[in-house]
Amino acid sequence: MVQGSAVRRRSSLTKFILRRIVISIPVIFLVATTTFFILRLAPGGPFLSERAIPPEIQANLQAKYGLDQPLLVQYGRYLSSLLRLDLGPSYKYPERTVNDIIREGFPVSLQLGLAALVIALLLGIPAGVFAAVKHRAVLDRLTMSVVMLGISLPTFVVGPMLIFVFSLTLYWFPPALWGEPSQLVLPAITLALPYSVYIARLTRTEMLEILDQDYIRTARAKGAGEFRVLWRHALNGGLLPVVSFLGPAVADLTTGSIVIEKIFAIPGLGRFFVESAFSRDYTTVMGTVLFYSVLLIGANLVVDILYRVLDPRIEYR
C-alpha cells in the first residue's frame, strides 16, 4: 500500500512536470511574438544615429541584419533561430552575440542574488523571532520600526547611503565594481534589505501564532529551555510561509536589479533589460525578455514542486 502510493505519487509528479513544460511552450512563444511586434512599434531603430549616415551605408546596415526584409519574414527568421537557441548578434555591440551577453552577465546577477538571499535570511529570520518573543515590548516595537524604515527606503537611497558611510568615509569597502569578495558586500546588503524586512515580518506573524499553540506549551511544560523551544519546536512551523516566499524571491533576486547594477557598476544582466530597449537593440531586448520568461517559469515550477514535497496533501493537477 505505502509503496504503491509512492509510485503513484512519483508518476503523477513526472506527469505534472511534463504537463507544465508543455504548457510553457505556448507561453514563451506568446512572449516572443508580443515582444517582437511591440518593439517594432517604437519609433526609430537600432542604427539611427546622431550623425547622418549616407543612405547607401544605412541600407547596407539594414541588409546586413535582415532589417530590410518584410516584418513577417524577419519574424519567421527570428523564430527559426530561436528554435536553435541562437538569440542573434547584439545590434549595439555587434562584436558580441546576445548569447554571449547572457552567458557573461547572468552568472554575475546570480551570484549577487544568492549572496543577497543568504543575507536576507540571516537578518530577517532572527529579527522576526526576536520581535515575536518580545511581543508588545519596547524591543518588538523598536525592531519592527527599524523594519518599517527598511521597507520605506528604496534601494537607490540605501545604496548611496552605504557607499557614503562605508566607502567614502570609512574606506572599508570599494564603492563600485565587481570581482573581489569585498566588492560583493555593499550591493548584496542593499539588495537584501527589502527582502530581509519582508522575511522578518512573515516570521514574526507566524511565530506569534505558533508560540500560542498547545505543543509549544507542552514543550515548555516538559521543561525544555526557551532556546530549544524557539529554535527546535516553533521555528520549524514558523518558516513555512518564508519558504513559499522564497520562490518568487529567488527569481526576483537573481534576475538582477538595474538600479543596483548601475549604482555599483556591476556587469550583471539586469541593466540590459532596460538599456537595450532605449538603444532599440531588438535582439538583446528579445533575448533578455525570453531568458527571464524561461527563468520565471522554471522558478515557479520548482516552487510548485516544493510545495507538494513539503505538503503531501496537495494534489498535482
Partner 1 sequence: MRSRRISFLRGKLSRLSPNVDSFLVLLLAASLAASSGCRQQGEYYGKTEPSSGNVFRFNNGAEPEYVDPALIVGQLDGRIASLLFEGLTNTDPKTLAQIPGVAERWDISPDGLNYKFYLRTNAKWSDGRPLTAKDFVYSWTRVLAPLTVSRYASHLYHLVNGEEFNQGRISDPSLLGIRALDDYTLEVRLRQPTPYFLFLTSFVTLFPVPSHIVEKHGVRWTAPENIVGNGPFLLSEHQSHARFEFVPNPRYWNRDKVRLDRIIAYSVDDNYTSANMYESGMVDWLPSYFPAEYVPHLKSFRDFASTPYLANYYYSFNVNKPPLDNPLVRRALSLAVNRRAITDDLLRGGQIPGAHFVPLGFPNYQSPPAEEYNPQEAVRLLAEAGYPGGQGFPEIEILFNTLESHKKIAESIQQMWIENLNIHVTLRNEEWASYLKSLTNLEYQIARSGWIGDYPDPTTFLDLMESTNGNNHTGWKNSEYDRLTMLARQETDAGKRMEILQRSEAILMYQAPVMPIYTSASNSLLKPYIRGFFPNSLDHYPLNEVWIDQQWSRDQPSGGEVR
3-state helix, strand, coil in the chain (%, to 5): 75, 0, 25
Cβ distance to partner 1 smaller for residue 91 or 198: 91
Cβ distance to partner 1 smaller for residue 206 or 261: 261
Among 75, 178, 295, 305, binds partner 1 (CB under 8 A): 178
Q: Residue 164, interface with partner 1 (CB under 8 A)?
A: yes
How far apart are alpha carbons 305 and 171 in whole angstroms? 45
Q: Residue 94, interface with partner 1 (CB under 8 A)?
A: yes
Q: Residue 194, interface with partner 1 (CB under 8 A)?
A: no
Which of 17-39 are b and which e, b meaning 16 or more Cβ less than 10 Å from the residue's Cβ? eeebeeebeeeeeebbeebbeeb
Stretch that binds partner 1, among 75-83, 175-183, 189-197, 229-237 (CB under 8 A): 175-183
User: Contact, 188 vs 116, CB < 8 A?
Assistant: yes
Stretch that binds partner 1, among 11-19, 73-81, 85-93, 143-151 (CB under 8 A): 85-93
How far apart are alpha carbons 260 and 157 in whole angstroms? 10
Cβ distance to partner 1 smaller for residue 247 or 267: 267
User: Contact, 114 vs 188, CB < 8 A?
Assistant: no
Residue bearing cell 538595474: 258
Among 3, 7, 49, 223, binds partner 1 (CB under 8 A): 49
Among 130, 134, 237, 275, binds partner 1 (CB under 8 A): 275
Q: Which three cell numbers stand for residue 164?
A: 557614503
Q: Which three cell numbers stand for residue 256?
A: 538582477
How many CA atoms, within 13 angstroms, populate the side-chain half-sphere of residue 59? 3
Q: Residue 171, interface with partner 1 (CB under 8 A)?
A: yes
Q: Residue 306, interface with partner 1 (CB under 8 A)?
A: no
Q: Residue 126, interface with partner 1 (CB under 8 A)?
A: no
DSSP codes of every residue in 24-62:
HHHHHHHHHHHHHHHHHHSSS-TT--SS---HHHHHHHH
Q: Which residues bind partner 1 (CB under 8 A)?
A: 42-45, 48-54, 56-57, 60-61, 64, 89, 92-96, 100-101, 104-105, 154, 156-157, 160-161, 163-164, 167-169, 171, 174-179, 258-259, 262-265, 267, 271, 274-275, 278-280
